[in-house]
Chains A and B, each alone.
Chain A
Amino acid sequence: MKTVKRIEIIIPAVELKKVLRLLKESGVSGYTVIRSVTGFGDRGEQTGDELTGVFDNACVLTLAEPEKAGGIVEEIRAVLKRHGGVCVVSDANWVIH
């Protein structure tokens, strides 16, 4: 197993493309996207039932080497500051196969 940082990002669905582009540019080797994520936060309830995608969130899950995680988080922080959302970083063990 390899020690990595697990980065979970919940952002408005309309900003998903931008976040994925930032992750690719940051050099992550992959990511997983969960669409139509709903919930409640400081921007009110995200019901996800609009055609617009305006009240819809997306969740992005990625793994990064510990030394790269700080740079990725700073890139994501700028998006979160303007558009809202959540980013959580935790320690994880990656099962190499």
Chain B
Amino acid sequence: MDAHLILSNLLNPPVLFFFLGMLACMVGSDLEIPQPLPKFFSLYLLLSIGFKGGVELAKSGFHDEVAWTLAAAVGMAIMVPTVTFFILRRKMDVSNAAAVAATYGSISAVTFIAATSFLSLLNLKSSGYMVAAMALMESPAIVVGIALARLTATRMERGFDWSGLLRDAFFNGSVLVLVGALVIGMMTGEAGGRALAPFTTDIFKGMLCLFLLDMGLVSARRLGAIKQLGGFPIGFALAVPLGSAALAILLARLIGLGCGDALLFTTLCASASYIAVPAAMRMALPEANPGLYVTMSLAITFPFNIILGLPLYMGVINHIWR
């Protein structure tokens, strides 16, 4: 692994604020971000990244590479939960296997945003349509996870509210803001981009620092729960991102993406959801243990990706693309 890339990532202010949050929790500090604020930061980040993606997409237009990337994104969002479900079934019951599989089939928007921040540090460009890929990858895993659970379970209650689940999967707040901001960005183009730049660009990194400070606190609070998970979930939470990343790099190479887009695509495939999917799973599969799938995603995969994953994936991409 390239030591320069690891160091660049570790000295990226948002990552350092993530460490600060973890440190605050570990030393028992009374530091806390008042409750409504993390939701506001999350909303701001999704709105900004969606809007900027839309502005870029309006500039670049829709071409073959965009279509292939979006198709590959949806393909991965369906394939990953399907394959991992059957691996998980060897060690877990149907509900837990489905919830974990859906968590890993979906994506983490904050990991994606941390990857864009890492790219700007390396002066590498990325395309606006990667935001569209992110929006497309958020929801299919929820539907696949629930469908697999219902198809393979021997006993499930009748009259399941599919319409409610589909509404929550495709119109939940994060997806709606992201897609809505993307469309608004496309409609307003460069003029809109310039008008909103002080809000969506200038303060973006500062807001990301605040959000990652909170994520550090939240992740560290769940560290204690890792001990109760056992070896298999911990190994899974580290191995699946690596496996998905390897496949994503191969797909990115076949499509012909640039280095920056390849990293974003790889990050999307390697990340796991801790916002949209857990909420949907808690409603649709209450038998599944949120202490399992949230801890795996939030306390293992998320820190792994933003600390080591990003420089590791970038190093491999640089090596292959050279």
- Chain A 56-97 near chain B by CB (<8 Å), digits 1 or 0: 000000000000000000000000001110000000000000
CA distance in complex: A84, B278 (Å): 16
Question: Which residues in chain A, 13-67, are within 8 Å of chain B measured between CB atoms?
Answer: 14-15, 36, 44, 47-55
A54 touches B286 (CB 8 A): no
Bound CA span A66–B42, Å: 45
* A50-B282 in contact given A44-B291, A55-B290, A55-B294 (Cβ < 8 Å): no
Question: B275 and A51: CB pair below 8 A?
Answer: yes
The number of residues on chain A lying at the interface, defined by a beta carbon within 8 Å of a beta carbon of chain B, is: 17
How distant is the Cα of A48 from the Cα of B35 in the complex, in angstroms?
9
Task: Please tell me which one of the listed residues B42, B279, B298 contacts residue A14 in the complex, with CB atoms under 8 A apart.
Answer: B279
**A50 and B35: CB pair below 8 A?**
no
Q: How far is the CA of A50 from the CA of B274 in the complex (A)?
A: 9
> What string of 1s and 0s marks CB contacts (under 8 Å) between B68-107 and chain A?
0000000000000000000000000000000000000000
24 A-B pairs (CB sep. < 8 Å) = A12-B282, A14-B279, A14-B283, A47-B221, A48-B35, A49-B217, A49-B218, A49-B221, A50-B218, A50-B274, A50-B294, A50-B298, A51-B42, A51-B274, A51-B275, A52-B274, A52-B294, A53-B282, A54-B279, A55-B290, A55-B294, A82-B286, A83-B282, A84-B286
Chain B count of residues within 8 A CB distance of the other chain = 19
Residues in A lying within 8 Å of B, measured CB to CB: 12, 14-15, 36, 44, 47-55, 82-84
Mask of B203-222 contacts with A, CB within 8 angstroms, 1/0: 00000000000000110010
**B35→A36 contact, CB < 8 A:** yes
- By a CB distance below 8 angstroms, the chain A residues around B278 are 50, 52, 54
> What's the Cα separation between A44 and B225 when bound, in Å?
11
Chain B interface mostly: helix
Please, which residues of chain B bring their CB within 8 A of the CB of A83? 282, 286
Of all chain A residues, the one with the shortest Cβ separation from B157 is: A82
Given contacts A44-B291, A47-B221, contact A52 B275 (CB under 8 A): yes
List chain A residues, Cβ under 8 A from B298: 50
Residues of A within 8 A of B279 (CB): 14, 52-54
7 A-B pairs closest in CB distance? A52-B278, A54-B278, A83-B286, A54-B290, A52-B279, A14-B282, A54-B282
> Cβ of A82: which chain B residues have Cβ within 8 Å of it?
157, 286
Give chain B interface residues in 263-283, CB to chain A under 8 Å.
274-275, 278-279, 282-283
Q: How far is the CB of B179 from chain A (nearest CB, A)?
A: 19
**Docked CA distance A17–B79 (Å):** 32
Residues of chain B in range 282-303 having any CB-CB distance to chain A below 8 Å: 282-283, 286, 290-291, 294, 298
Residues on A with C-beta less than 8 A from B157 are 82
Minimum CB distance partner of B110 in chain A: A51
Q: Which residues of B contact A36 (CB under 8 A)?
A: 35
Binary contact readout B13-43 vs A (1 if CB under 8 angstroms, 0 otherwise): 0000000000000000000000100110010
CA distance A47 to B225 in the complex (A): 13
Indicate the member of A54, A55, A82, A84 with the most B CB atoms within 10 Å: A54
User: Residues of A contacting B218 with CB < 8 Å?
Assistant: 49-50
Which of chain B's residues has its CB closest to A44's CB? B291
Q: Known contacts A14-B279, A44-B291; decide if A51 and B38 are in contact (CB<8 Å).
A: yes
Which of B39, B217, B218, B286: most chain A Cβ within 10 A? Answer: B286
CB neighbours (8 Å) of B291 from chain A are 44
Q: How many angstroms from the CA of A82 to the CA of B160 in the assembled complex?
A: 13
